[in-house]
Amino acid sequence: MFNMQIKNNLNLTENALIVLDKRYLKKDRDGNVIETPEEMFHRVAKNIASAEFIYNPKAVVSAVEKEFYEIMTNLEFLPNSPTLMNAGRELQQLAACFVLPVDDSLDSIFEAVKDTAIIHQSGGGTGFSFSRLRPKNDRVSTTSGVASGPVSFMKVFNTATEVIKQGGARRGANMGILRVDHPDIMEFIRAKENPSEFTNFNLSVGIDDNFMKAFENDSTFDLINPRNNKAAKKLKAKDVFNNIVDAAWKNGEPGIVFLDTINRFNPTPHLGRIEATNPCGEQPLLPYEACNLGSVNLTRMLKKKDNRYEIDYNKLERIINIAVRFLDNVIDVNKYPLPQIDRMCKGNRKIGLGIMGFADMLILLNIPYSSQAALDTAERLMKFIDEKAKEISMELAKERGVFPNYKGSIYEKSGVIMRNATTTTIAPTGTLSIIANCSSGIEPLYGITYTRKILDDLELKVINPNFEEIAKRKGFYSERLMDTIIAFGSIQERTDVPDDVKMLFTTAHDITPEDHVRIQAAFQKYTDNAVSKTVNFHEDADKSDVEKTFLLAYKLGCKGVTIYRSGSRERQVLSCRNNIQYC
């Protein structure tokens, strides 16, 4: 249990205090908490505001620090977890996600393993493309032997992650990507059939337009040996696609990333093609790039008019302005784990401003998640955030200069000055949403009530505050009702809950896969980077449902898609059976 002596002058929930105690607040050598939540936010605000001196030695930093402190303590905006954990402390590693190159040599592979360990120890996650590694049984001229292939080397990364465990504060996480035209693609697709394998990896197949055309035409495509870029063999695209669908239906992996879609929006194509993403897929990155993320809490961006809620766009704009400056400052005060990462991050200055609390906001706006009104709201809202984030980035460019790799970028070609190569990302906001007491990212409610597991040893009981308030206001609240919901999660079969309330409080498994994808696509339309989103399926979903979802995501312009069928793993991230969420 958490330290009940922690001072709570910010009206944080008990769950927020538990998470802060477990993961974020400073501790002495004996593990005793020596920092209050207020002191944590002061520590972060002061540290991030100190970057102002770099650009103006006479800057009134105290005013900037006050703004940063207020938007965090008001739970209007929170930066990614490493920033909250490490800003103003010895480690000072503030970025959440990194991509490392893995080239076709033992030196490169094991250099990447070493760099992965350093990053995980500092609290970051890592993504890799293993597509440059020669296939299994290919010749190795220097030893007259044969190669073991990408999947074999992935086991080394997985073991290293297991040993490090990110210093105990965050579970080690990796993303492994292999191009669909790699000769070992079938082995990769089946890599997680054994649930004890690759437990520290998310896996995604990198699909390109050429493969999708072959699928649509029911034709073959070439598998290319990366050692010599020559065709090794041909496979039917539908056979490969069906294997991806089958594996994802069985246990949720692999996911899919659409590489050509990602690279159509690559802001710095002169620096190379993007081949990999961070562990949750929302951040496509070049080798040695990292990105610092932050999220606006949408439940705090509402105002009441005529006794109804509406989005307060004036307040949202003010928070965006402060948040973009905050994230740009992070880049300068961050102590990067590797010099190559330092150069790339400061060269491109990518930031990712996103949101959390979308599902809760829709409830307060009286908009069902599965509705055209929700799609319209998503597009209008993200378009506003993206435009305002770019406006402040342009203002910062006038004040501080464009990002160093600006020449040759898409912005230089269009004549637009920008401080940051990207400005927007939709992250999952797992623990951040607990601190902010809102729904995660853009996901629907997981359940009206459920238990959330943190680091495998803490269970947090979560009750949606909006449901409880509405139930009491409309007169159908009872302890028996709440106990029943705790057992089953959904209210759609309840006869003692009004239909209009049922429409508002749909959970992840009440929503059709198509509606999941359409929400993701609506946000992706106005997001620079990518969107973290899980498409949830009922246990009895058919494989054809998975296929339709993958194809719809491609058609609607998503940069990737991840699905999960309930009950397809013995120990799963989200479970309707025992109503437990692991994070």
Which residues carry out catalysis?
A: 278, 280, 282
Bridge partners of residue 535, in order along the sequence:
563
Per the document, the length of the chain is 583
- Name, in order, each residue with C-beta under 8 angstroms of 358's C-beta and a sequence gap of 6 or more: 298, 378, 439, 441, 442, 443
Alpha-carbon distances, residue 325 vs 84, 209, 421 (angstroms): 16, 37, 14
**Which residues, at least 6 apart from 403, have a Cβ–Cβ distance to it below 8 Å?**
347, 348, 349, 409, 418, 419, 420, 421
Distance (Å, whole) CA 546 – CA 249: 7
Question: Residue 59: CA atoms inside 13 Å, Cβ hemisphere, count?
Answer: 15
Which secondary structure element, helix H or strand E, spans residue 17, and what is its range? helix 14-19
**Gap between the Cα atoms of 268 and 575, Å rounded:** 40
DSSP letter at 445 equals B
Nearest to 115 by CA among 107, 378, 198: 107
Residue type, 296: V
Taking 3-state DSSP, the helix, strand and coil percentages for the chain, each rounded to the nearest 5, stand at: 45, 20, 40
Strand segments, DSSP code E, in 237-280 are 255-258, 276-277
How far is CA 446 from its chain centroid? 17
Backbone angles phi, psi at 240, to 5 degrees: -65, -45
**What angle is formed at CA 354 by the lines to CA 352 and CA 358, rounded to 5 degrees?**
165
Q: Which residues contact 105 (CB under 8 A, 6 or more apart)?
A: none
CA nearest 273: which of 282, 281, 285, 283? 285
Q: Cα–Cα distance between 340 and 101 in angstroms, integer?
A: 11
Q: Label residue 486 exposed, middle or buried (CB < 10 Å: 0-12, 13-18, 19+).
A: middle
Are 109 and 130 contacting, i.e. CB atoms less than 8 angstroms apart?
Answer: no
Angle 527-359-547 from CA coordinates, rounded to 5°: 65
Q: Is the peptide bond preceding residue 339 cis, with omega within 30 degrees of 0? A: no
**Using an 8 Å Cβ cutoff, are 92 and 78 in contact?**
no
Tokens representing 403 are: 């990002």
